[in-house]
Amino acid sequence: MSKPIERIVKTNGISLNIVEQGQGPFVLLCHGFPESWYSWRHQINALAEAGFHVVAPDMRGYGKSDRPEAIDQYTIFHLVGDLVGLLDGLEAPTAAIIGHDWGAGIAWQAARLRPDRFRAIVSLSVPFRPRSPARPTSLMPQTAEAQFYQLYFQEPGVAEAEFEKDPRLTLRAMLYGASGEGVAAIRAVAANSGRAPGVGMVPRAGGWLPSSAPPLPSWLSEADLNVYAEEFARSGFRGPLNYYRNIDRNWELMAAFDGTKVTVPALYIAGDHDMVVAFPGAAEQIANMKQVVPLLRDIQMLPRCGHWTQQERPAEVNAAIVEFLRGLPN
């Protein structure tokens, strides 16, 4: 078995850092926020051993990939274009695409817009979301005391200043807070207090991060945290946050494709402790997904699993992905 190779590939006018391993049908792994190719560390070798050519990029704005400064360089068309260009650079006619978090949203659109290049999709955490009736930020919850985290991300420089002050604390807090263990702890506190927690809400005074470091979740080692912290200490958070600053712009750009279905085979996997599953409207989107993804093969909900699906439950996720990929038509 070959070992993973890390290299730079030119695509769509920028350079993407990729990690690749194996031979066979191409499988493209797209990470989310705030991660890197490293979030697929448990999948890369497993999929390569199963007979696939696995490619995991640092997405635009992350890690060793290029990080354009302009906010409007992070639209959904740029992000899907990067992946099409990546396949061209690898001389891959098609690939199965697997995404988590933001990577899942991008993967859904890649499969929807270019089914000739992305022959199947596995989405982790994020279901397919039909276009909303109004600008997404106008529908996000906020009160006098708190606002939805994606609203907190909108003003350039604000979240960067908080997150870049101590990247290690930032990553530790985010990875624990959205994990199955972190969500279980939050739910326990809420149950004892008799108050339901506000999902994804950020206090208007004091910012998002806790004043002291939370525990590490059981699936994350200090060495793993070091990898993430070192990457973000070097590359910063502006590029990743720019994804969120294009949410309304993407809504405008995608108007012409409203109603277009995802026509390739699909698999959806999420944890029942995932904050995304608890977002308003998510349960309905999951229940009705087959209406817009007619070749959806299965919906798998992992008990006590939080948001970091492939890192929290690698064995179960790997087995489900391999079974799905092996069942695709040649």
Q: Which residue has the tokens 């490293």?
A: 38
**What is the per-residue pLDDT for 195?**
60
Count of beta carbons in the 10 Å neighbourhood of residue 108:
25
Question: DSSP state, 178?
Answer: T
**What is the per-residue pLDDT for 273?**
96
What sign has the CA pseudo-torsion 189, 191, 194, 199?
positive
**What is the per-residue pLDDT for 330?**
76
Helix spans in the chain (H): 41-49, 76-89, 102-113, 149-152, 158-165, 167-177, 180-193, 222-235, 238-244, 247-253, 282-287, 289-292, 309-312, 314-326
CA–CA separation, 266 vs 280, rounded Å? 23
Which residues are CB-neighbours of 87 under 8 A, at least 6 positions away?
26, 28, 93, 94, 95, 117
With CA atoms as reference, report the closest residue to 183 among 302, 39, 319: 302
**What is the per-residue pLDDT for 280?**
87
Q: Which residue has the tokens 């949203």?
A: 105
CA–CA separation, 67 vs 146, rounded Å? 30
**What is the per-residue pLDDT for 211?**
84
CA–CA separation, 280 vs 61, rounded Å? 28
User: Domains of the chain by range and CATH?
Assistant: 5-135+243-326 (3.40.50.1820), 136-242 (no CATH)
CA–CA separation, 194 vs 197, rounded Å? 10
CB-CB contact of 292 with 130 (8 Å): yes
Spatial strand order of the sheet with 118-124 comes to: 5-11, 14-21, 53-57, 26-30, 95-100, 118-124, 266-271, 296-302
Catalytically annotated residues:
101, 307
pLDDT in tens, the chain (330 residues): 679 999 999 999 999 999 999 999 999 999 999 999 999 999 999 999 999 999 999 999 999 999 999 999 999 999 999 999 999 999 999 999 999 999 999 999 999 999 999 999 999 999 999 999 999 999 999 999 999 999 999 999 999 999 999 999 999 999 999 999 999 988 887 667 666 556 789 999 889 998 889 999 999 999 999 999 999 999 999 999 999 999 999 999 999 999 999 999 999 999 999 999 999 899 999 999 999 999 999 999 999 999 999 999 999 999 999 999 999 987
CA–CA separation, 90 vs 79, rounded Å? 17
pTM here is: 0.97
**What is the per-residue pLDDT for 2?**
78
**What is the per-residue pLDDT for 194?**
60
